[in-house]
Protein backbone atom coordinates (compact mmCIF):
# COMPACT_ATOMS: atom_id res chain seq x y z
CA UNK A 1 0.00 0.00 0.00
CA UNK A 2 1.30 3.45 -0.84
CA UNK A 3 0.19 7.02 -1.24
CA UNK A 4 0.63 8.45 -4.73
CA UNK A 5 -0.33 11.53 -6.69
CA UNK A 6 -2.31 10.57 -9.77
CA UNK A 7 0.14 10.83 -12.66
CA UNK A 8 -1.57 9.49 -15.79
CA UNK A 9 -5.06 9.43 -17.29
CA UNK A 10 -5.84 6.03 -15.74
CA UNK A 11 -4.79 7.23 -12.27
CA UNK A 12 -7.09 10.23 -12.61
CA UNK A 13 -9.95 8.04 -13.84
CA UNK A 14 -9.56 5.82 -10.78
CA UNK A 15 -9.22 8.79 -8.47
CA UNK A 16 -12.36 10.58 -9.67
CA UNK A 17 -14.25 7.29 -9.87
CA UNK A 18 -13.62 6.71 -6.16
CA UNK A 19 -14.72 10.25 -5.31
CA UNK A 20 -17.90 9.74 -7.31
CA UNK A 21 -18.72 6.27 -5.94
CA UNK A 22 -18.28 7.24 -2.28
CA UNK A 23 -19.35 10.89 -2.21
CA UNK A 24 -21.87 11.31 -5.03
CA UNK A 25 -23.41 8.04 -6.31
CA UNK A 26 -25.24 7.25 -3.01
CA UNK A 27 -27.17 10.51 -3.53
CA UNK A 28 -27.93 9.76 -7.20
CA UNK A 29 -25.61 12.48 -8.44
CA UNK A 30 -24.26 12.10 -12.00
CA UNK A 31 -20.65 11.49 -12.93
CA UNK A 32 -18.92 14.83 -13.16
CA UNK A 33 -20.57 16.08 -9.96
CA UNK A 34 -17.51 14.80 -8.07
CA UNK A 35 -15.37 17.49 -9.73
CA UNK A 36 -15.12 21.27 -9.40
CA UNK A 37 -13.10 24.06 -11.03
CA UNK A 38 -10.52 24.07 -8.22
CA UNK A 39 -9.36 20.55 -9.11
CA UNK A 40 -6.98 21.99 -11.68
CA UNK A 41 -4.87 23.84 -9.12
CA UNK A 42 -5.15 21.31 -6.28
CA UNK A 43 -2.99 18.56 -4.84
CA UNK A 44 -4.61 15.14 -5.23
CA UNK A 45 -3.49 12.17 -3.16
CA UNK A 46 -4.60 8.58 -3.46
CA UNK A 47 -3.83 5.48 -1.41
CA UNK A 48 -3.41 2.45 -3.65
CA UNK A 49 -2.77 -1.23 -2.99
CA UNK A 50 0.16 -3.22 -4.39
CA UNK A 51 -1.65 -3.62 -7.75
CA UNK A 52 -2.47 0.07 -8.00
CA UNK A 53 -6.12 -0.29 -7.00
CA UNK A 54 -7.34 2.93 -5.36
CA UNK A 55 -8.51 2.52 -1.77
CA UNK A 56 -8.74 6.13 -0.57
CA UNK A 57 -8.62 9.61 -2.08
CA UNK A 58 -8.47 13.21 -0.91
CA UNK A 59 -7.70 16.72 -2.17
CA UNK A 60 -5.86 19.75 -0.85
CA UNK A 61 -6.17 23.30 -2.14
CA UNK A 62 -5.24 26.72 -0.79
CA UNK A 63 -7.81 29.42 0.05
CA UNK A 64 -5.08 31.90 1.01
CA UNK A 65 -1.31 31.61 1.22
CA UNK A 66 -1.62 30.30 4.82
CA UNK A 67 -5.00 28.56 4.78
CA UNK A 68 -5.33 25.17 3.13
CA UNK A 69 -8.57 23.24 2.69
CA UNK A 70 -9.13 19.52 2.48
CA UNK A 71 -12.06 18.22 0.41
CA UNK A 72 -13.33 14.99 -1.11
CA UNK A 73 -11.98 12.60 1.53
CA UNK A 74 -13.21 9.18 0.48
CA UNK A 75 -12.27 5.65 1.53
CA UNK A 76 -13.71 2.75 -0.45
CA UNK A 77 -16.46 1.05 1.55
CA UNK A 78 -14.80 -2.32 2.28
CA UNK A 79 -11.71 -0.52 3.58
CA UNK A 80 -13.33 2.03 5.88
CA UNK A 81 -12.42 2.01 9.58
CA UNK A 82 -9.05 0.38 8.90
CA UNK A 83 -6.89 3.44 9.38
CA UNK A 84 -6.62 4.36 5.67
CA UNK A 85 -8.46 7.66 6.03
CA UNK A 86 -6.13 8.56 8.88
CA UNK A 87 -3.09 7.78 6.72
CA UNK A 88 -4.34 9.88 3.87
CA UNK A 89 -5.32 12.77 6.12
CA UNK A 90 -1.84 12.76 7.66
CA UNK A 91 -0.28 12.86 4.18
CA UNK A 92 -2.50 15.77 3.13
CA UNK A 93 -1.59 17.65 6.32
CA UNK A 94 2.09 16.94 5.73
CA UNK A 95 1.82 18.33 2.21
CA UNK A 96 -0.10 21.39 3.44
CA UNK A 97 2.63 22.11 5.97
CA UNK A 98 5.34 21.63 3.37
CA UNK A 99 3.58 24.13 1.11
CA UNK A 100 3.47 26.71 3.91
CA UNK A 101 -0.02 26.34 5.36
CA UNK A 102 -0.52 27.47 8.95
CA UNK A 103 -4.06 26.14 9.23
CA UNK A 104 -6.31 23.60 7.55
CA UNK A 105 -10.05 24.10 7.23
CA UNK A 106 -12.64 21.64 5.99
CA UNK A 107 -16.39 21.11 5.82
CA UNK A 108 -17.06 17.78 7.49
CA UNK A 109 -20.18 15.79 6.88
CA UNK A 110 -21.85 15.40 10.25
CA UNK A 111 -21.37 11.65 9.91
CA UNK A 112 -17.59 12.14 9.72
CA UNK A 113 -17.27 14.62 12.59
CA UNK A 114 -15.82 11.99 14.92
CA UNK A 115 -13.10 11.14 12.44
CA UNK A 116 -11.86 14.72 12.17
CA UNK A 117 -12.24 15.38 15.90
CA UNK A 118 -10.01 12.39 16.54
CA UNK A 119 -7.38 14.06 14.38
CA UNK A 120 -7.43 17.37 16.24
CA UNK A 121 -9.97 19.36 14.18
CA UNK A 122 -12.26 21.69 16.08
CA UNK A 123 -15.71 22.87 15.12
CA UNK A 124 -15.93 26.49 13.96
CA UNK A 125 -19.65 26.48 13.14
CA UNK A 126 -22.19 25.05 10.77
CA UNK A 127 -21.20 24.71 7.14
CA UNK A 128 -23.11 24.31 3.89
CA UNK A 129 -25.90 21.87 3.10
CA UNK A 130 -25.14 19.57 0.14
CA UNK A 131 -27.99 18.35 -2.10
CA UNK A 132 -30.41 19.80 0.50
CA UNK A 133 -29.68 16.73 2.60
CA UNK A 134 -26.10 16.45 3.81
CA UNK A 135 -25.32 18.82 6.64
CA UNK A 136 -21.72 19.97 6.98
CA UNK A 137 -19.76 21.42 9.87
CA UNK A 138 -16.87 23.80 9.32
CA UNK A 139 -13.76 22.61 11.20
CA UNK A 140 -10.18 23.75 11.47
CA UNK A 141 -6.82 22.64 12.76
CA UNK A 142 -3.70 24.76 13.24
CA UNK A 143 -0.58 23.18 11.80
CA UNK A 144 2.35 23.38 14.16
CA UNK A 145 5.79 23.81 12.69
CA UNK A 146 4.84 25.53 9.44
CA UNK A 147 7.86 27.17 7.88
CA UNK A 148 8.10 30.90 8.65
CA UNK A 149 8.96 32.70 5.47
CA UNK A 150 11.52 35.45 5.48
CA UNK A 151 13.50 34.15 8.47
C1 LIG B 1 -14.78 9.44 6.97
C2 LIG B 1 -13.67 8.58 6.35
C3 LIG B 1 -12.83 9.41 5.39
C4 LIG B 1 -12.76 8.07 7.49
O5 LIG B 1 -11.77 7.21 6.96
P6 LIG B 1 -11.56 5.75 7.61
O7 LIG B 1 -10.42 5.09 6.92
O8 LIG B 1 -12.88 5.04 7.56
O9 LIG B 1 -11.24 6.12 9.11
P10 LIG B 1 -10.06 5.55 10.05
O11 LIG B 1 -10.13 4.06 10.12
O12 LIG B 1 -8.76 6.14 9.64
O13 LIG B 1 -10.62 6.19 11.41
C14 LIG B 1 -9.83 6.47 12.50
C15 LIG B 1 -10.75 6.81 13.65
O16 LIG B 1 -11.61 7.91 13.33
C17 LIG B 1 -12.88 7.68 13.91
N18 LIG B 1 -13.87 7.56 12.84
C19 LIG B 1 -13.70 7.13 11.57
N20 LIG B 1 -14.83 7.28 10.86
C21 LIG B 1 -15.72 7.80 11.71
C22 LIG B 1 -17.06 8.17 11.56
N23 LIG B 1 -17.71 8.06 10.40
N24 LIG B 1 -17.71 8.66 12.65
C25 LIG B 1 -17.06 8.79 13.82
N26 LIG B 1 -15.76 8.46 14.01
C27 LIG B 1 -15.11 7.96 12.97
C28 LIG B 1 -12.81 6.44 14.71
O29 LIG B 1 -12.45 6.78 16.03
C30 LIG B 1 -11.71 5.69 14.05
O31 LIG B 1 -11.10 4.82 14.90
P32 LIG B 1 -11.79 3.38 15.22
O33 LIG B 1 -12.01 2.71 13.89
O34 LIG B 1 -10.76 2.73 16.05
O35 LIG B 1 -13.05 3.68 15.93
C36 LIG B 1 -14.24 7.35 5.59
O37 LIG B 1 -14.92 6.51 6.52
C38 LIG B 1 -15.18 7.69 4.46
O39 LIG B 1 -14.74 7.84 3.32
N40 LIG B 1 -16.49 7.81 4.75
C41 LIG B 1 -17.50 8.06 3.72
C42 LIG B 1 -17.32 9.39 3.01
C43 LIG B 1 -17.18 10.57 3.95
O44 LIG B 1 -17.98 10.77 4.85
N45 LIG B 1 -16.13 11.36 3.70
C46 LIG B 1 -15.87 12.55 4.48
C47 LIG B 1 -16.54 13.70 3.87
S48 LIG B 1 -16.30 15.16 4.85
Report H helices in 24-66: none
Residue 130 has a pLDDT of 72
- Distance CA(150)–CA(140), nearest Å, equals 25
pTM above 0.85, yes or no: yes
Q: Confidence band (pLDDT; 50, 70, 90) for 144? A: confident
Instruction: Determine the atom of ligand 1 nearest the C-alpha atom of 72.
Output: 47
Output the CA 150–ligand 1 centroid distance in Å: 38
Q: What is the dihedral of CA 61, 63, 65, 68, to 10 degrees?
A: -50
With a 6 Å cutoff on the Cβ, whether 118 touches ligand 1 is: yes
Q: Is the pLDDT of residue 37 over 70?
A: yes
DSSP state of 65: S
Distance between CA 71 and CA 107 in Å, rounded?
8
How far is Cα 92 from Cα 96, in angstroms, rounded to an integer?
A: 6
Q: Whose CA is nearest to atom 15 of ligand 1?
A: 115
Give percent of the chain with pLDDT exceeding 70. Answer: 93
136 pLDDT tier (thresholds 50, 70, 90): confident
In sequence order, the 6+-apart residues with CB closer than 8 A to the CB of 122 are: 139, 140, 141
In tens, the pLDDT along 38-97 reads 999 999 999 999 999 999 999 999 999 999 999 999 999 999 999 999 999 999 999 999
Say how many Å lie between the CA of residue 69 and the centre of ligand 1: 18
- Per-residue pLDDT averaged across 121-141, rounded? 83
| Sheet with 122-130: strands ordered across | 2-4, 43-48, 54-62, 67-75, 103-109, 134-142, 122-130
Among residues 99, 56, 88, 94, which one has the least CA distance to residue 75? 56
Pocket of ligand 1 contains residue 74 by CB under 6 Å: yes
Amino acid sequence: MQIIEPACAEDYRNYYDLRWRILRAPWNQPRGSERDPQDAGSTHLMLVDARGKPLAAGRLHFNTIREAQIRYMAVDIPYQRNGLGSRLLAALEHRARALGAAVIVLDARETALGFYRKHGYQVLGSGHMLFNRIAHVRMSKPLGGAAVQGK
